[in-house]
C-alpha cells in the first residue's frame, strides 16, 4: 500500500490520542497504509514511560501520562506534531532504525526551509549545532506497529519549556524554526516539507534482520 499523510488541524490531545490508538489497530489489521498524522495541540504536558515528578510540572496545564518512550514534554500551538503509524513487520522489526528514520524526516523537513539540523549522539531528537533541540521524538510500538512520533517546534512559545525540564533537559536548550530563521514561520508552512520528507524516507519498505531495540528516552 502507498503511504498516507493526513492533517488533523488543531486538536485536543486526549481526542487525538484516542484516534491515533484506534488507527494503530487499523494498521495492524491492514485496513490502512503506513500513515503520518499531522496536528497542532492545545497546550498540554505529556509524560512518557520514563515518568516525571508531578511537583516539577506546571500546575495550570493538563498532564497526560502516555505509553511513548521518554519523559515529560510540552505540546501547544505553534508546534507541529507528527504521529507515525508504521507496520515494522515490513521493515525488519528494527525499532532503532525506525526512530533514526523518523528523526531524518525532521532533519530533511527543516533543511528544506533553511535550518541545518542533525542528530546528536547519545541524545534522542533533532538538534541544531549540537546544542539547541528543535524537535523531540518519542514512540511506542505494539504488535510491531508504531504510534506517537515527533514534535517539531515551529513557532511555539519556548517560554513554556522553561517552566520545567522537557525530556529531562533545561528548557533553555529548546529552539524553533522561527528562532533559527529569525522570522515568523507558520505551522502550515512546514506541512509540505514534512510530507515530502515522510515520502522520501518511508516511501519504500525495507527488510533487515535485526533484533528490535527500544529507543532511548527523548
* Beta-strand pair 118-120/79-85: unpaired
Q: Are 98 and 89 in contact (CB under 8 A)?
A: no
Q: CA 81, CA 149: separation in Å to the nearest integer?
A: 8
Q: Which helix (H) or strand (E) holds 153?
A: strand 145-153
The C-alpha cell at 195 is 510530507
Please choose, from the candidates 23, 72, 27, 15, the residue with its C-alpha nearest in 3D space to the C-alpha of residue 49: 72
Please choose, from the candidates 73, 99, 35, 181, the residue with its C-alpha nearest in 3D space to the C-alpha of residue 190: 181
Catalytic annotation, residues: 167
Q: What angle do CA 50, 53, 56 make, to 5 degrees?
A: 125
Phi, psi at 186, each rounded to 5°: -75, 150
User: Roughly how many angstroms between the first and final C-alpha of the chain, as a whole number?
Assistant: 30
CA distances from 118 to 131, 193, 195, 213 (A): 11, 16, 18, 21
Q: CA 210, CA 218: separation in Å to the nearest integer?
A: 22
Amino acid at each position: 500500500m502507498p503511504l498516507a499523510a493526513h492533517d488533523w488541524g488543531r486538536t485536543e490531545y486526549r481526542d487525538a490520542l484516542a484516534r491515533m490508538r484506534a488507527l494503530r489497530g487499523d494498521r495492524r489489521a491492514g485496513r490502512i497504509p503506513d500513515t503520518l498524522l499531522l496536528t497542532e495541540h492545545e497546550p498540554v504536558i505529556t509524560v512518557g514511560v520514563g515518568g516525571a515528578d508531578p511537583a516539577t510540572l506546571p500546575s495550570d496545564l493538563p498532564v497526560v501520562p502516555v505509553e511513548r518512550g521518554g519523559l515529560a514534554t510540552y505540546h501547544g500551538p505553534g508546534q507541529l506534531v507528527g504521529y507515525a503509524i508504521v507496520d515494522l513487520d515490513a521493515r525488519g522489526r528494527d525499532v532503532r532504525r525506525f526512530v533514526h528514520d523518523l528523526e531524518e524526516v525532521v532533519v530533511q523537513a527543516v533543511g528544506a526551509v533553511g535550518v541545518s539540523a542533525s542528530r546528536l549522539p547519545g541524545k534522542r531528537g533533532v538538534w541544531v549545532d549540537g546544542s539547541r533541540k528543535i524537535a523531540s521524538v518519542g514512540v511506542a510500538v505494539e504488535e510491531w506497529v508504531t504510534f506517537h512520533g515527533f514534535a517539531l517546534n515551529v513557532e511555539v512559545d519556548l517560554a513554556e519549556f522553561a517552566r520545567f525540564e522537557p525530556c529531562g533537559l533545561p528548557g533553555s536548550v529548546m529552539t524553533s524554526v522561527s528562532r533559527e530563521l529569525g522570522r515568523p514561520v507558520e505551522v502550515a508552512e512546514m506541512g509540505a516539507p514534512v510530507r515530502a520528507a515522510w515520502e522520501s524516507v518511508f516511501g519504500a519498505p525495507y527488510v533487515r534482520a535485526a533484533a528490535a531495540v527500544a529507543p532511548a528516552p527523548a
